[in-house]
């Protein structure tokens, strides 16, 4: 901080300048702000520093700063309000954050041309489809958060947070808080027919982390993995990030068509399925398909990743027990989440892993 320059803490510059490069200073400032806006680090409506404060902060004259601001105002990235200052425009072009811009990102270069690890070309670099953005009617994957019992929730939070034991605040068991794992295991045994003990339960930040960890433990780059077609993009992304080669297997009214997967030939290291409530078609996998899938996994020495993300919601019939409960060979990694029964921002989920994999999963933490 330059002595004598007052700078409210929320007005930190998002730009740096490098006098050694040949890029003019105004261009560096312009690029820095544009990147920050397109990359989402500066949000619509966010206040910007005054040109005077920014020039002083960067240790340069005000002229290039004025030049950059003028350009950003002219292009609609900034807006100025009389007497209030300059802000990131509230009405940025809607497509700024979506497909066009993101698809411009090459595999190994960021938007600024900097090298990063190559991403698997199939992983989505674009914004989610319109029907997955925001919330409201017809938006998939959203629980009724307005019905959430906030009074009971806040009472419980207050009770447990007022004087927490020190042990709760330190690093604990890499698999998660033991009493919580016991509660999850007991619930899953009774409500979901899952076989397993608390030691097999791993607490994670939602199914997405469960999938990432599972892929890391079970897969090697290049391994083939069956995925449901149509299926869940979040799972596809997690698997591809681990270098898996996805093998789409069709889904019909009985769930994954195991015979079609087998007929496709080639060994697959794993199959990812949503047997209780197929995403997005909503079918429940029939008993015979479950048995076929388990028999395939046993025969070919493959894993089954069971994503049981919302089976608590069944309106017309009794819940169908988890596929994991039928497995006698320790071939199923079971994934559950609190995103639907509580709320997704909680980022809380769990895995139930075969007993001989507990150490492998714990090691990934
Ligand atoms: C198939 C599927 N799995 C898992 C989830 C939940 O993911 P998370 O626990 O990461 O919120 C969803 C959310 O919509 C889903 O559709």
- Report cis status (omega within 30 of 0) of the bond before 230: yes
My answer on whether 271 and 357 are in the same domain is yes
| Residue 42: predicted pLDDT | 80
For residue 40, how many other CB atoms are within 10 A of its CB?
Answer: 9
Which residue out of 129, 227, 339, 346 has the highest number of ligand 1 atoms within 8 Å of its CB and is therefore the one to mutate? 339
| Residue 116: predicted pLDDT | 75
Range of the domain at 241: 172-364
Q: Which residues of the chain have pLDDT under 50?
A: 1-10, 94-95, 98-106
* Nearest CA among 162, 212, 201 for reference residue 179: 201
Q: Does a structural domain hold residue 135? A: no
State the CATH number of the domain containing residue 267: 3.40.640.10
Q: Does a structural domain hold residue 194? A: yes
Give the number of domains in the chain. Answer: 2
| Residue 265: predicted pLDDT | 81
Q: Which of 75, 94, 113 is the last residue of a domain?
A: 94
Q: Does a structural domain hold residue 345? A: yes
The tens digit of pLDDT for each residue in 217-242 reads 999 989 999 999 999 989 998 998 89
Q: Which of 59, 94, 129 is the last residue of a domain?
A: 94
Query: Rounded distance, CA 288 to CA 307, Å?
Result: 19
Q: Does a structural domain hold residue 45? A: yes
Query: Rounded distance, CA 221 to CA 244, Å?
Result: 5
Using CA positions, which residue lies closest to atom 15 of ligand 1?
A: 309
State the CATH number of the domain containing residue 39: 1.10.10.10
Q: Does a structural domain hold residue 118? A: no
ipTM of this model?
A: 0.98
My answer on whether 189 and 90 are in the same domain is no
Using CA positions, which residue lies closest to atom 2 of ligand 1?
A: 309
Q: Which residue has tokens 């209030």?
A: 84
My answer on whether 208 and 357 are in the same domain is yes
| Residue 1: predicted pLDDT | 45
Q: Does a structural domain hold residue 325? A: yes
167 C-alpha to center of ligand 1: Å?
A: 31
My answer on whether 73 and 215 are in the same domain is no
Q: Does a structural domain hold residue 257? A: yes
Q: Does a structural domain hold residue 27? A: yes
My answer on whether 202 and 60 are in the same domain is no
26 C-alpha to center of ligand 1: Å?
A: 45
Q: Is 207 close to ligand 1, i.e. is its CB under 6 Å away?
A: yes
11 C-alpha to center of ligand 1: Å?
A: 37
My answer on whether 176 and 321 are in the same domain is yes
Q: Which of 36, 63, 94 is the last residue of a domain?
A: 94
Q: Is 278 close to ligand 1, i.e. is its CB under 6 Å away?
A: no
């Amino acid at each position: 901080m330059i002595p004598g320059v007052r700078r409210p803490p929320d007005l930190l510059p998002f730009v740096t300048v490098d006098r050694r490069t040949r890029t003019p200073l105004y261009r560096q400032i312009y690029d820095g702000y544009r990147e920050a806006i397109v990359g989402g680090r500066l949000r619509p409506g966010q206040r910007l520093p005054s040109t005077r404060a920014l020039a002083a902060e960067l240790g340069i004259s005000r002229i290039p700063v004025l030049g950059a601001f003028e350009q950003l105002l002219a292009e609609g990235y900034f807006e100025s309000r009389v007497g209030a200052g300059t802000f990131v425009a509230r009405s940025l072009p809607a497509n700024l954050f979506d497909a066009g811009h993101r698809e411009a990102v090459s595999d190994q270069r960021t938007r600024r041309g900097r090298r990063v690890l190559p991403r698997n070309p199939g992983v989505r670099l674009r914004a989610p489809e319109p029907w997955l953005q925001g919330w409201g009617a017809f938006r998939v994957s959203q629980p009724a958060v307005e019905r959430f019992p906030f009074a009971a929730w806040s009472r419980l939070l207050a009770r447990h947070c007022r004087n927490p034991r020190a042990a709760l605040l330190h690093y604990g068991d890499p698999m998660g808080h033991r009493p919580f794992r016991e509660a999850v295991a007991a619930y899953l045994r009774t409500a979901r027919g899952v076989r397993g003990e608390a030691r097999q339960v791993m607490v994670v930040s939602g199914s997405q982390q469960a999938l990432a960890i599972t892929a890391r433990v079970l897969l090697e780059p290049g391994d083939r993995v069956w995925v449901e077609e149509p299926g869940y993009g979040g799972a596809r992304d997690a698997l591809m990030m681990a270098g898996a080669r996805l093998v789409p297997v069709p889904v019909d009214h009985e769930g994954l068509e195991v015979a079609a997967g087998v007929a496709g030939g080639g060994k697959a290291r794993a199959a990812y399925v949503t047997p209780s409530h197929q995403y997005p078609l909503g079918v429940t996998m029939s008993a015979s398909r479950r048995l076929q899938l388990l028999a395939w996994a046993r025969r070919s020495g493959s894993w089954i990743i069971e994503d049981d993300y919302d089976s608590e919601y069944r309106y017309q019939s009794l819940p169908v027990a988890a596929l994991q409960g039928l497995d006698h060979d320790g071939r199923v990694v079971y994934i559950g989440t609190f995103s639907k029964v509580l709320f997704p921002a909680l980022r809380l989920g769990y895995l139930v892993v075969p007993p001989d994999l507990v150490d492998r999963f714990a090691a990934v933490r």
